[in-house]
């Protein structure tokens, strides 16, 4: 199946991507891909280092005639987001990604593709292997764990790199030159609850919210997509207002950086209220479907009778949890007043699990401004603490402040105009790039970000444009030729 991928142009890029996608590389489990990249560098007889946290750096001297140019750092992250459709049988820990061509797009069969940031990694591999591409001295930095904490960038040794310019290859629009990004913080709220014996004469049902698009919780948050956890909570809180509904279990979402696509609840209803519940659920479900019709055309809400459960959540905790989830902000919190169209701050209610006497809620709060990130995090903390949750903040990382006077920005801006007859979109993004963290280790480094067009990152709908990859590759080759002199 991947042979059709290997036949795409530029072959050197797509072949490296196919090689990489044969290696399982989930966040926090990058041992195999670290070894893969280390062996790749050693087999090219290039100096290769692995630092204490697992980042890999491969050093390549300048090609003939380019020795007087500034040394550059090429950078991409090794890990990928693992998401699959519920009906897809796939083991991310042992299987390589199954790819196919769909018109101008490369896709994966029912899973994330790993183009984020695998195409950046493949680009670096292709340049390191090539003996015909002109370039200055290169330090190719392959970081780990970008998707779930940026621990690779955070743990980067400050004496590992000498490059003056960093080219981050993790932007997902081929007409965009990135000059800034959002920082983030993980919020985890946990609460114990009492389990009570299932009341007599109750029927048990499964309620499922399915078919949502999901996507990147930073880049796609502005689209107003449905969040399965918030929609499920709306159904439960509305139908429980006048009925004796009891919650047995909840399981929705997953990774913090992915907008949750599905949620499942197990609930119990008195025999005498079943028909009333069904009618109320149908009304609420139809309201939600109409509300999200333009952005979530495949949204479905299913009700199914299931075998009896032994326990339910105590009523006091049930009310507290439903109110807290209703009050927890989800989506855009503030738009940037300085940069038109840029989300400044947002939150993703990413995961909700309720079972065996404990509920856990995981959020990812992002902002390009530290004060608004702190404000939103404090607001969420207050909501959950008022409902009796224990709240912890962790995994905080800084944003990357835009520098409109960047010398490398000027180089790329002029080159893009020369090649394509128009200006690139020079922008900051509402995603977590590693530039801000790397910049804290190397404050004098001039940084820029660009890449090929990728859609649906962090979801099974992830796809990479073939034409865009060709445009990006051509642009990068010219960028390498035009790195300024020392």
> Tokens standing for 380?
């969420």
If 0-12 CB within 10 Å is exposed, 13-18 middle and 19+ buried, where does residue 19 land?
middle
Determine the Cα–Cα distance for residues 175 and 422; give it in Å rounded to an integer.
Answer: 10
Active-site option among 116, 139, 145, 146: 146
3-state secondary structure of 389: coil
What is the full DSSP assignment across 85-144? -TT----TTT----EEEETTEEEESSB---HHHHHHHHHHHHHHH-SS-----EEEEEES
- Cβ contact 113:474 at 8 Å: no
Determine the Cα–Cα distance for residues 469 and 9; give it in Å rounded to an integer.
Answer: 9
Write the CA distances from 483 to 136, 407, 411, 476, integer angstroms: 7, 10, 8, 11
Residues in the chain: 486
Active-site option among 30, 79, 280, 461: 79
Other beta carbons less than 10 A from residue 340's beta carbon: 8
Nearest to 37 by CA among 137, 95, 118: 118
Q: Is 146 a catalytic residue?
A: yes
3-state secondary structure of 478: helix
Determine the Cα–Cα distance for residues 117 and 79; give it in Å rounded to an integer.
Answer: 8
Determine the Cα–Cα distance for residues 73 and 213; give it in Å rounded to an integer.
Answer: 35
Q: Is 241 a catalytic residue?
A: no
Residues tagged active-site: 79, 146
């Amino acid at each position: 199946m991947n042979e059709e991928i290997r036949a795409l142009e530029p072959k050197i890029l797509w072949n490296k991507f196919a090689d990489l996608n044969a290696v399982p590389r989930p966040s926090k489990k990058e041992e195999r891909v670290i070894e893969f990249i280390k062996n790749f560098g050693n087999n090219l007889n290039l100096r290769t280092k692995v630092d204490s946290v697992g980042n890999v750096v491969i050093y390549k001297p300048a090609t003939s005639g380019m020795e007087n140019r500034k040394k550059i750092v090429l950078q991409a992250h090794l890990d990928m987001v693992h998401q699959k459709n519920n009906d897809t049988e796939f083991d991310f820990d042992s299987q390589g990604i199954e790819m196919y061509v769909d018109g101008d797009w490369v896709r994966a069969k029912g899973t994330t593709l790993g183009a984020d940031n695998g195409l950046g990694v493949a680009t670096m591999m292709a340049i390191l292997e090539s003996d015909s591409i002109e370039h200055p001295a290169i330090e190719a930095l392959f970081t780990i764990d970008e998707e779930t904490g940026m621990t690779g960038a955070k743990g980067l040794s400050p004496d590992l790199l000498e490059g003056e310019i960093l080219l981050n290859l993790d932007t997902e629009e081929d007409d965009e030159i990135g000059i800034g990004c959002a920082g983030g913080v993980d919020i985890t709220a946990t609460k114990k609850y009492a389990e009570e014996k299932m009341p007599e004469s109750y029927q048990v049902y499964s309620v499922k919210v399915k078919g949502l698009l999901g996507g990147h919780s930073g880049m796609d948050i502005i689209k107003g997509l449905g969040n399965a956890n918030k929609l499920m909570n709306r159904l439960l809180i509305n139908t429980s207002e006048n009925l004796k509904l009891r919650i047995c279990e909840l399981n929705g979402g997953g990774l913090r950086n992915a907008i949750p696509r599905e949620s499942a609840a197990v609930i119990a209803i008195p025999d005498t209220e079943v028909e009333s519940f069904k009618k109320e659920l149908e009304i609420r479900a139809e309201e939600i479907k109409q509300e999200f019709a333009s952005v979530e055309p495949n949204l479905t809400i299913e009700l199914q009778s299931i075998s009896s459960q032994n326990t339910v959540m105590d009523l006091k905790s049930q009310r507290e949890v439903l109110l807290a989830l209703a009050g927890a902000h989800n989506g855009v919190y503030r738009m940037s007043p300085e940069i038109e169209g840029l989300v400044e701050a947002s939150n993703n209610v990413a995961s909700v699990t309720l079972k065996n006497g404990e509920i856990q809620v995981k959020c990812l709060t992002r902002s390009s401004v530290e004060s608004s990130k702190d404000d939103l995090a404090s607001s969420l903390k207050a909501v959950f603490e008022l409902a009796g949750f224990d709240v912890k903040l962790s995994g905080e990382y800084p944003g990357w402040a835009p520098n409109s006077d960047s010398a490398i920005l000027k180089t790329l801006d002029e080159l893009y105009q020369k090649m394509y007859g128009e200006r690139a979109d020079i922008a900051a993004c509402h995603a977590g790039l590693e530039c801000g963290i790397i910049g804290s280790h190397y404050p004098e480094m001039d940084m820029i970000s660009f890449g090929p067009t990728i859609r649906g990152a962090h979801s099974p709908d992830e796809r990479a444009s073939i034409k865009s990859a060709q445009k990006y590759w051509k642009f990068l080759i010219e960028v390498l030729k035009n790195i300024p002199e020392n």
